[in-house]
Amino acid sequence: MFAFNNALARMFDLFYTPFRSFHPVWGLLAMSAVTGLILLFIWKYTTNQKQMKAVKDRIKMHFIEIRLYQDDMGIIWKTQARILKQNLRYIVLVLVPALVIIVPVVFILVDMDHRFGREALEPGESALVKVKFAGRGGLPEVTIRAPEGVVVETPRLRIPVEREVDWRIRAEREGDFDLAFVVDGDTYTKRLTVGNSTRRFSFIKGQATVEEAFFNPGEDPLPKGSLIESIEITYPEMRFRFESWVGHWLTLFCVFSLAVGFGLKPVFNVE
Amino acid sequence: MRRVLATGLVLTAVLAAACTDAQAYVGPGAGFAFLTSFAVLFLTIFVAIGTILIWPIRFLFLRAKRRGMKEAMVDRVVVIGFDGMDPALTRRFMDAGKLPNLAKLAEEGTFCPLKTTSPSISPAAWSSFLTGSHPAKHNVFDFLTPDRRTYFPVLSSADIGAVSRTFSLGKYAIPLGKPKIRLLRRGVPFWKHLGDRGIFSSIIRVPITFPPEKFRGVLVSGLCVPDLKGTQGTFTYYTTSTNGNKEHTGGVRIPVKFEGDTIHAEIEGPVNSMLREPVPMTIPFTVVVDRPGKRARVEIAGQTIELGEREYSPWISLEFSAGFGITVRGIARFYVTRMEPDFGLYVTPIHIDPEKPALPISHPFVYAVYLSKLIGPYATLGLAEDTWALNERVIDEGAFLQQAYSCHEEREKMLFNELEKVRKGLVVCVFDTTDRVQHMMFRYLVPGHPANEGQDTEVHKNAIEDLYVRMDEVVGRVREKMKERETLIVMSDHGFKAFRRGVNLNSWLVQNGYMVLKDGCTGAGEWLQDVDWSKTKAFALGLGGLYFNVKGREGQGIVQRGDELEALRTELLEKLQGLKDSDTGDTAIRNVYVATELYKGPYVDNAPDLVIGYADGYRVSWDCVTGIVNDVVFEDNRKAWSGDHCLDPEIVPGIFFSSLKINTNQPAIIDVAPTVLDLFGVAPPPYMDGRSLLNGSQEQSGVRGKGQHVSRVTGEQSS
C-alpha cells in the first residue's frame, strides 16, 4: 500500500511540476479540470447512457408538462409524483457508477488535501506540535529535539485526559526539518515543512495501518504498537481568495471540476 | 470476477464511509448524479409548494377568465379530422358492418356529408374549418399561388424569409437575427376565441397552422410544415442501378458504387446560410452490405443501423454543422429497397427534429420538445407520408403503407395523451393517413384504372377498406374516453374520387389561342417558363385555378380590366363548362366557378379567376401542375397517385359525424367552428360565414354520449 502510495505520489508530483513556481490555485484548477475530464469519461462508460437519457428525458418531459397544463391541479400532482419516481430511478441508475468513481477520486482528493489543505509554515511562523499516546494509564515521559532552524517556544503541555502532549514551535528558515521525540529511549520523528506551499506535505503521522497509509501518505508511519499514536503539526489552513470570496480548496475543486464536466458533456456526448 | 467486484465495491463503500469532511465529495461523476437528482427533488418540491401557494390566485383568475365555461353546454369537445374520408365509402363500409363505432356514433347523433370549400383542397378546406369562413376571408385557395409579378408559384400558406442582416467574417456571413417566418393564412382560428375566454385547447396537426400562432393551449403544426431543406418533402434514393429514371419529382436520385461490400455516400441537408456562398451541408455515411445474409449496416454520424431488406430504420438523428458550433438537427428514416441485383437505399425527407426544432413547429415552442420526449422522435413534415416516393416507384405500396401507418401511430399517441390531459376544453386532431393512403391506393377500388396496368391489383386490394376500419377503431377508442357533457365530432375536409384522366389546361389554352409560347420553345420548361406572357391571356396554376393575365395586376399582364376581361371570362366559361374529353367523349369539366361570384371577402383578388370543377375521374394533369405545356390535353393517369379530390366540390363532400343531433342535413365545413364556439357558450364572431349547427328553426336538442340529452335553450340536462 505504501509503495503504491509512493508511486501515486510521484505521478501526482509530476503533474504538479509545471505549476511549482506559481500560486497553488493554478495547480488546483489544472487538477480539477483534468479530474473533471477523466471522470466524465469514466461516467460515460460505466453508466447506461441510453437508460440515463431516457430517464432524464422523462423528467424533463414532466417538467414541461407542468408548464403546459398548469391550470389542472390534478395533472400537476400526478406529474410531480411521476417526477419523483423517475428521480428515484435516476438515483438507482447512478449508484453503481458513482461507487466505481469514488475509487480514483478518493486517491486524487487525499493527495490534493495534502497539497492544498494546509499551508507550510513561513519563517518566523509558529505552530503547535501535538503528540498523542496510545493505550491507557499515565502519560509517558517525552522530550522534543528540534533541529537547527526550528525553535521550541514553550515547555511541553501535558493534557492527560486527551493523552496528549503539546509544544509550540517556531520556524526560523525555509526547509524540511525532522523533529525528534524521545519516549522511553525510543526516538520518533516528524517532518516539518517550512516555506514553498506548492509541495505535498504531511500534517499528521500515525501508526502503520491501511487507513493511515491511505489517508496520510507521504511520510513513513510510526511503527505499529509504538507508544505514540500520532504526531501532528497544526499547519495553518490554506484559504483561496477571489475578490471578497475566501474559501476551501474543496469548494474550488467541486465548482471547477463540475463546470468542466458539465461544459464538456455535450462535446463528448455524455448524459 | 464477481467476488473481486463485490470486494472492490465493499472496499469502496468502506473508504467512502471513512472519508473526512474534506474527502466526502466524490467528484464530478457522482456530482452530476447528486446535483441533478437533488436539483430535481428540490425543483419538484419547489414547484409543488409554489403550485399550492399560487393555486388560489390562479383559480380566481381562471374563474374570472373562464366566463365562457359558465354558459358552456359541454365540458369538452373532441374533433377528430380524417383528411379526405369520403362519405360514400364510409356509408358503403358502414353498411357492410365494417365500421361499428362510426355506425354507433351515427345512430346516436349525426352522420351526413359535409360541404367542402371551393376548391376542395386541404389547405383551403382546413383553413375554412379553423376560421369558420370562406377562402376569400382566409386567403388560402390552393397549395400554391402565383407570384403576380414573376408568375412563379409560391406556397400559399407560409413564407420563410431570409435573414435581413448578416455580419461578414471571411467565408462566413453570420446572420444577425432570425429568418422571418410569416403565416399567409388570414383569419383567426376559433380556438383563439375560446382561449380569450380562458378555455384551453389542444390542437394536433391541423393543416395550415405553420408557423404556429399564440393562443391559450398547445398546438403542433400540420400540413405545410417544411422539411429541413425548406421543401415540402424531398426524399433521397441511393442506387447502384444505372437503369430507370434519372430524375425524380419530389426526390433526388444519387448513383452510388460498391467498393467491395461497402458504399460511401453523403446525405445532403439544408443549405448552409452562414456561408457567403451557400452550399448544402452534408453528412457522410457508409453502407456495408451482406448480400448473402440480406443485411445492410448503415454507419452515419456515430450511429450504426442494422437493416434487413424492405425494413425501415427508426428515426435517425442527423446533425448538420454550419460552423462556429452551430448545428441544425433533423431526423430521417432509412429503408433498403433491394439488395440484389442492384442495391437501393431510400432515405425519407429530412424532417425537422422535434427535440431541437430548427423552426417553430409548435405553440408553445417547447410543446414539440415535450411530445418528442413523450413519444420519441416523430414526423414533423407537413406531408409526412412520402407519396412522391411511391409515385416515382422508388418504394412500393407495402413500404408506403408501413411508413404511413407509422406516422399515424405517432399521431394517435399524441391524441390519446391530450385526451388524458385536457379534461375541460377542446381537443382537435387531424389524421392525414386517410388522405395519403386514398391518394395512393384508390386504383385498387377502380377496375380498369389506367394506373393498374402492369401493377399489383391483389396484394393491397383491401387497403382502403382496412384504412377505414382502422380509423373506425380510433373512433371507438376515443369514444371510450368520452364522458358526460362531452361532444365528439368526426369530420373530413373533403371526399375522394378516382383520378383516371389528367387535363392539361395550359395545353388547352395554347391550342385555343389563350396562351402563346415563346418562339422556338416547346413548352417543356417547368413552371411556364416557355410562355410568352406578352401574348398570353390566361394560365392555369395549382390544382384547380385558372388565372387571367390582367394588365396592372400580373407582371406582364395584357388583358384590360372591364369589358375585355368580362368578355374573356364569359368566353372561357362557355368553352370550359362541360368540356369533353376528346379521347373518351366523357365530360371532363363539370363546373367552372367565377371567383367574384363564388367568394366574398377581402382576399378575393388573390383567388384564381376561375375555379375549375373537374368531373368524376378527372383532375388537372401532372404536367399541368408543374407548368409544362405540351400537345396533349387529355391523358391517362398511370401514377400510383390514383385518387384525388381536386374536383368539382359538389361531388367530393367530406363527412360529418357527431354525438350531437344537428339542425340540418347539409352542414358545411365552415359551420364547425361556430358550432364548437356555441357549445362552449362563446358567440361566434360576425366575420364567420358559417352558422352554428345548434341554431336553427327547429327546437334544438341533441343526443350526447352515454345517453345524455341537452337542451340548447336552457342548457339543462335530462336522461
Chain A, residues 102-131, CB within 8 A of chain B, namely: 102-106, 108-110, 113, 117
Grid cell locating B491: 369530420
Assess whether A47 and A134 both reside in one domain: no
B70 within 8 A of B202, measured Cβ to Cβ: no
Helices (H) and strands (E) in chain A, counts: 6, 11
Nearest to B373 among A58, A69, A250 (CB): A58
Mean pLDDT of A170-193: 92
Q: So where are chain B's domains?
A: 66-134+187-225+394-496+652-719, 231-381, 502-642
- Which residues sit opposite B237 in a β-bridge? B253, B346
Given this chain, do its domains B66-134+187-225+394-496+652-719 and B502-642 carry the same CATH topology? no
Q: Cα–Cα distance between B574 and B586 in angstroms, integer?
A: 17
Q: Cα–Cα distance between B604 and B568 in angstroms, integer?
A: 19
> Which residues lie below 8 Å from residue B409, measured CB to CB, with a gap of 6+?
none
B354 within 8 A of B368, measured Cβ to Cβ: yes
Chain A, residues 242-261, CB within 8 A of chain B, namely: 248, 250, 253-254, 257-258, 260-261
φ/ψ bin of B277: left (φ > 0), alpha (ψ from -120 to 50), beta (otherwise): beta
Question: Does this complex have an ipTM over 0.90?
Answer: no
Local structure of residue B668 (DSSP, 8 states)? B
Local structure of residue A1 (DSSP, 8 states)? -
Residue at A270 is within a domain: no
Cα dihedral across residues B416, B417, B423, B426: positive or negative: negative
In angstroms, what separates the C-alpha of B357 from chain A's closest C-alpha?
A: 16
- The torsion angle over the Cα atoms of residues B323, B324, B325 and B331, rounded to 10 degrees, is -30
Nearest to B33 among A40, A76, A94 (CB): A94
Mutation target among A39, A71, A253 for the B interface, most CBs of B within 10 A? A71
Q: What is the pLDDT of residues A37-55, one digit of tens each?
A: 888 888 888 888 889 889 9
Reduced to 3 states (helix: H, G, I; strand: E, B; else coil), residue B317 is strand
Greatest C-alpha distance within chain A: 82
Q: Does A94 touch chain B (CB under 8 A)?
A: yes
Mutation target among A40, A99, A216, A267 for the B interface, most CBs of B within 10 A? A99
Give the β-pairing of B617-620 and B497-503.
parallel
Q: Helix B122-131 and helix B672-679: axis angle, to 10°?
A: 30
Greatest C-alpha distance within chain B: 100
Residue at A239 is within a domain: no
A202 within 8 A of A232, measured Cβ to Cβ: no
Residue at A149 is within a domain: yes
B66 within 8 A of B196, measured Cβ to Cβ: no
CA separation (Å) from B345 to B6, B269, B426?
A: 48, 17, 42
Reduced to 3 states (helix: H, G, I; strand: E, B; else coil), residue B504 is coil
Q: Cα–Cα distance between B605 and B597 in angstroms, integer?
A: 12
Reported pTM: 0.82
Assess whether A65 and A99 both reside in one domain: yes
Residue at A212 is within a domain: yes
List chain B residues with pLDDT less than 50.
1-27, 696-719
Across A155-203, the runs of DSSP E, i.e. the strands, are 157-159, 164-171, 175-183, 186-194
Across B309-451, the runs of DSSP E, i.e. the strands, are 316-323, 326-332, 334-338, 344-347, 351-352, 362-363, 425-431
The pLDDT value recorded for residue B39 is 67
Which residues constitute the domain of residue A95? 2-117+246-264
Cα dihedral across residues A198, A200, A204, A205: positive or negative: negative
Reduced to 3 states (helix: H, G, I; strand: E, B; else coil), residue B324 is coil
Q: Cα–Cα distance between B397 and B51 in angstroms, integer?
A: 51
CATH number given to B502-642: 3.30.1360
- CA B154 to chain centroid, in Å, comes to 17
State the total domains in chain A: 2
The pLDDT value recorded for residue B20 is 41
Q: Cα–Cα distance between A109 and A23 in angstroms, integer?
A: 19
Which fold, B66-134+187-225+394-496+652-719? Answer: Alkaline Phosphatase, subunit A (3.40.720)
Assess whether A256 and A162 both reside in one domain: no
B547 within 8 A of B572, measured Cβ to Cβ: no
Q: Cα–Cα distance between B64 and B650 in angstroms, integer?
A: 45
B495 within 8 A of B654, measured Cβ to Cβ: yes
Q: What is the pLDDT of residues B327-364, one digit of tens each?
A: 999 999 999 999 988 999 999 999 999 999 999 999 99
Nearest to A99 among B12, B35, B373 (CB): B12
Q: Cα–Cα distance between B309 and B344 in angstroms, integer?
A: 10
In angstroms, what separates the C-alpha of A197 from chain B's closest C-alpha?
A: 19
Look up cell 390519446; give the residue: B416
In angstroms, what separates the C-alpha of B101 from chain A's closest C-alpha?
A: 29
Buried b (16+ CB within 10 A) or exposed e, B407-416: bbebbbebbb
The pLDDT value recorded for residue A223 is 87
Residue at A240 is within a domain: no
φ/ψ bin of B475: left (φ > 0), alpha (ψ from -120 to 50), beta (otherwise): alpha
Across B301-405, the runs of DSSP E, i.e. the strands, are 303-308, 316-323, 326-332, 334-338, 344-347, 351-352, 362-363
Local structure of residue A140 (DSSP, 8 states)? P
Q: Which residues of B touch A215 (CB under 8 A)?
A: 18, 20, 23
Residue at A241 is within a domain: no
**CB-based contact B32 A261, cutoff 8 Å:** yes
Residue at A148 is within a domain: yes
Q: Cα–Cα distance between A53 and B174 in angstroms, integer?
A: 33
Q: What is the pLDDT of residues B592-650, one digit of tens each?
A: 999 999 999 999 999 999 999 999 999 999 999 999 999 999 999 999 999 999 999 99
Mean pLDDT of A147-170: 93
Amino acid identity, position B568: L
Grid cell locating B316: 435517425
Nearest to B25 among A63, A117, A254 (CB): A254
Residue B280: which H helix or E strand, with range? strand B280-290
In angstroms, what separates the C-alpha of A156 from chain B's closest C-alpha?
A: 29
Q: Cα–Cα distance between B312 and B379 in angstroms, integer?
A: 14
Residue B477: which H helix or E strand, with range? helix B463-481
**Count of positions (residues) in chain B:** 719
The pLDDT value recorded for residue A38 is 87
Q: Does A41 touch chain B (CB under 8 A)?
A: no
Assess whether A6 and A107 both reside in one domain: yes
Grid cell locating B325: 458550433
**CB-based contact A257 B13, cutoff 8 Å:** no
Residue pairs spanning A and B at CB distance below 8 A: 151
